[in-house]
Amino acid sequence: MKKKVIGKILFAAFAAALCAGAYFAADITFFQFGGEEYQETGAALFTSEWFSAMLPFGLILLVSAVCIALDVLLRKLLYKKKKLPVGKTGITARDKRKKRFVFGFETVRWGVMILSFALLIYGGRLFGTVFTNVQLPVFACPYNLEQLTNAGCYYFSHLDVLFSESWQAILAFFGTFLVCAVLLGRVLCGFVCPMGFLQDVAHEARQALHIEGISLNEKMYAVLRLVKWVMLIIFLGVGFIGGNFCDFCPAAAVSPALAGFKLSLGLGGFIMVIVLVSGFFKRRCFCNVCPLGFILGLTHKLSLFKLKKNAVACTECGACYEACPMGIKSIFTEREGKDIKKLDVTTSDCIMCGECVRRCPENNALAITFCGKKIYNADRMKFMKQYAPKPDKYAPFRGKDKP
């Protein structure tokens, strides 16, 4: 009982601190760079000016790397002292076993992510700002004035500004948002958002180093959900009381810098470090608390992309839940419904990353559909190929495979 009360008080304090931080964010500056004035064009790539614009981002990466290294060291010490189970001490490892490359949805997703990352940052340079009226609802900071499109996050976090615009602008904003949300929904999160991309890169880095992460369970996800509500209130509301979400938005540190725009870093830089470090240890941690993603997910019932499950084919192995970066448990537990062979298990949290389908070992148990057509289907043979060596490499006693 007591623990619960303390937890609640701590959480309230945390939320209050976050709100206060949001309000006074403009005044807290840990790195002042460039002027407060808008820069009209980005610096040309790899010039000294570009490098100086990149400096803040470089610092963020450096600090994140140091944080991660410290964390790993600390855990190693702790585990040794406490004599925790053997497995836990092997925090980092190398693996010589070569994995088989399997082309699939995953490959396509990475392709699209890299492409959209590049386009959102440099697209404007190549093609000019083509879609001036499109407010893509992702965190691609429009401080980078040379974007291909505008980013919807600005108006969402500055609803006061939006409502002082002309009605056409307001209509265009909501119009594009609705079209994006209905057509794509959180597919934008899984495929387009630069913040999502960075977090996935951090996750892949951990996979390559085999450093142990933090696996969350239901209870911890519930805490993240609470944080998300706080974030949402700040995101939508801070503009009305004179604050500015951009002052501590983590995304501000990324795309403008890469595009060569000097920007002073406030609290956002700190938060970006948190995003990267937490994203390293827990896949897409920030996405779990992201307010914009939440708004995008609200229309999931209308979205053309759906996650479908065949409960009869499913063995309830829980692999999908284990793999899901958003911790959606219902995809694994859902088993009753009108048509048990075509259950709709899409939730507002789902970013359509396809990880669950990739890790599902049962034919047809899970599928991502677009307009009712299956575009990615769980397949046992494909699943096994991810893990099994090539048949000509089976004999393990002669090869150097033997440990």
Partner 1 sequence: MTDNRQGTPEERRKQRFFNKSAATSVKYLRKIDELPHKPASLDPFLNILKHVFVDMQGAVKPAGTLSVGTYCVMVPPELIYAAGAMPVKLCGGSYTAFNIGDDIAPRDACPLVKAVMGFESIGVMPVYRECELMAVPITCDCKKKLAGYLSERRKTVTLHVPTGRSRDGDMEHYVKELYQFSEELTKITGKPLSYERLSWACGLTAAAQYELSRFIELRRRAPLVIKGTHYLAALNALSYTHVSIWTQYMRALCDETERRIQNGEMASKENRPRILVTGSPIVFPNFKLPLLIEEMGGALVADETCMGERGAYDPPAIADQTTDGIMRALANKSTRPCTCPTFTDNKRRVYRIMQMLEDYGVQGVIYHVLRGCLVYDYEYRVLEEEMGKLGIPIIRVESDYNEEDVEQLRIRVEAFIELIKYGRGGDTAVRLRKGQR
Name the site residues for ligand SF4 (rule: CB under 6 A): 138-139, 141-143, 151, 153-154, 157, 189, 193, 195-196, 245-246, 249, 251-252, 286-287, 290, 292-293, 307, 309, 314-320, 323-326, 328, 331-332, 350-356, 359-360, 362, 365-366, 378
Partner that binds at residue 388, options partner 1, ligand SF4, none, CB closer than 5 to 8 Å by kind:
partner 1
CA distance 289 to 231: 7
292 binds, among partner 1, ligand SF4, none (CB under 5 to 8 A by kind): ligand SF4
- Amino acid identity of residue 139, one-letter, is F
Sequence-ordered list of residues with C-beta below 8 angstroms from that of 143, at least 6 positions apart, any chain: 246, 252, 255, 256, 261, 263
What radius of gyration do the chain's Cα atoms show? 23
What does the alpha-carbon distance between residue 365 and residue 187 come to, in Å, rounded to a whole number?
21
Binding site for partner 1 (CB under 8 A): 85-88, 90, 93-97, 206-207, 210-213, 215, 217-219, 311-319, 322-323, 329, 333, 335, 355, 359-361, 380-381, 383-385, 387-389, 391, 394-397, 401-403
Q: Residue with structure tokens 């608390």?
A: 289
CB of 137 to ligand SF4, least distance (A): 7
Q: How far is the CB of 351 from ligand SF4 (least distance, A)?
A: 5
Rounded least distance, CB 391 to ligand SF4, Å: 25
Of the pair 8, 341, the CB lying nearest partner 1 is at 341
DSSP 101-120: P--SHHHHHHHHHHHHHHHH
Cβ 398 to ligand SF4 shortest distance, Å: 33
Q: Which residue's CB atom is positioned nearest to ligand SF4?
A: 293
Is the separation of the CB atoms in 139 and 195 below 8 Å? yes
Taking Cα atoms as reference points, which of 124, 132, 119, 283 lies closest to residue 192? 119
Q: How far apart are CA 60 and CA 348, in angstroms?
A: 31
Residue 126 DSSP code:
H
From ligand SF4, partner 1, none, interface partner of 22 (C-beta below 5 to 8 A by class)? none
